[in-house]
Amino acid sequence: NIFSFHYLNNNYIMKKNYSNIYSFNKKIIKKTVNFLKLSNIVGLPTETVYGLAGNAYSDKAIKKIYSLKKRPRRNPLIIHYYNYEKAKKDVYFNKNFFKLYKRFCPGPITFVLKKNKNSDISSLATASLNTVAIRFPKHRVIKTLLKFLSFPLAMPSANISSGLSPIDAFNVFEEFKKKLKIIIDGGRSKIGIESTVVDLTNHPKILRPGIISPNEIRNILKTNFSKKKINLRSPGMMKKHYSPGIPVIIGQKPKNINHAYIVFGKRFKSSKNYFNLSKKGDLKEAAANLYKIMRKIKKNGFKKIYVSKIPSFGPGIAINDRLSRASK
């Protein structure tokens, strides 16, 4: 029976190919904790995007992360903690930090703070800067791990440098195949774009917009960084980034059916080459769909991506930031 042969064969291939993807349970947590203690790297889910995690106190682990990602060494990593108490000896907190921590953590926000002199963080992870980016993720898989570990996790997005961030375990597999011994499947990342990065070392500055908008942050801090032009640059942040691997053109309509069109809102009809980020015009939903849709467009063989206008407030600021970088 040819059909069942194929079926069995496919099943075999499935098993063989994805044997490094694990679902979340006590056994895999234990295995992952031990693996991380030995300075190994694993693929983990977070609520924003999937990450490539390693012991932030270990030079050996950090070197592995940079080489796996092919990331320039001058681009520092975000250090992830269970809670602020675990971060005490690594950074200097300030009032603005506590205001935002109280409101948004655990959650999709990253704080740049001064590095504590007694910090154990590998200087490779911070690209030898005297500041550190720290985050307190919410996803239960990463929270469970951080709770059991005696060190924080350095964790960039789990993609080869300059590509799209992964939002499920299979996306991570596509990037690194069997180079990772463990990828934990924690379902699709609900937020779907990377955390908001806010620099609190001086006057607050947004370095990377995310689902938490500049307005929300401004409302909590009651300081105004609106007069200053928002600085969207982090050290080492490349101009070309978040690239789907095909040209992205903003503000024009597609020329033919071989070009994909990313649209937003209900005024767009359905069409084979139209991809709606959110039919109901919800920017949060649009952000969650952005990378999924860009991957799908690439997979379906389209040669170019055109993008219609997307509102630039709230999460729209982050969506436009990612699209504009993808178009560089």
Does position 126 interact with Mg ion (CB under 5 A)? The reply is no
> How is residue 84 written in tokens?
């602020």
Residue closer to ligand TXA by CB (options 55, 126) is 126
Does position 119 interact with ligand TXA (CB under 6 A)? The reply is no
Footprint of ligand TXA on residues 45-64 (CB under 6 A)? 46, 48-49, 51
Backbone angles phi, psi at 110, to 5 degrees: -120, 135
Does position 315 interact with ligand TXA (CB under 6 A)? The reply is no
Contact 171, 295 (CB under 8 A): yes
Residue closer to Mg ion by CB (options 32, 157) is 157
Contact 169, 147 (CB under 8 A): no
Residue closer to ligand TXA by CB (options 237, 250) is 237
**What CA–CA distance (Å, rounded) separates 218 from 237?**
24
Contact 217, 199 (CB under 8 A): no
**What CA–CA distance (Å, rounded) separates 195 from 174?**
22
Does position 290 interact with ligand TXA (CB under 6 A)? The reply is no
**DSSP-assigned letters across all residues of 220-252:** HH----SSSPP----TT--SS-SB-SS-EEES-
> How is residue 175 written in tokens?
């990037």
Q: Which stretch binds ligand TXA (CB under 6 A): 27-35, 73-81, 249-257, 290-298?
A: 73-81
- Given 20, 48, 58, 157, the residue binding Mg ion (CB under 5 A): 157
195 binds, among ligand TXA, Mg ion, none (CB under 5 to 8 A by kind): ligand TXA
**Residues binding Mg ion (CB under 5 A):** 157
**Residues binding ligand TXA (CB under 6 A):** 46, 48-49, 51, 75-78, 110, 112, 126, 129, 131-133, 135, 137, 155-157, 194-195, 197, 207-208, 234-237
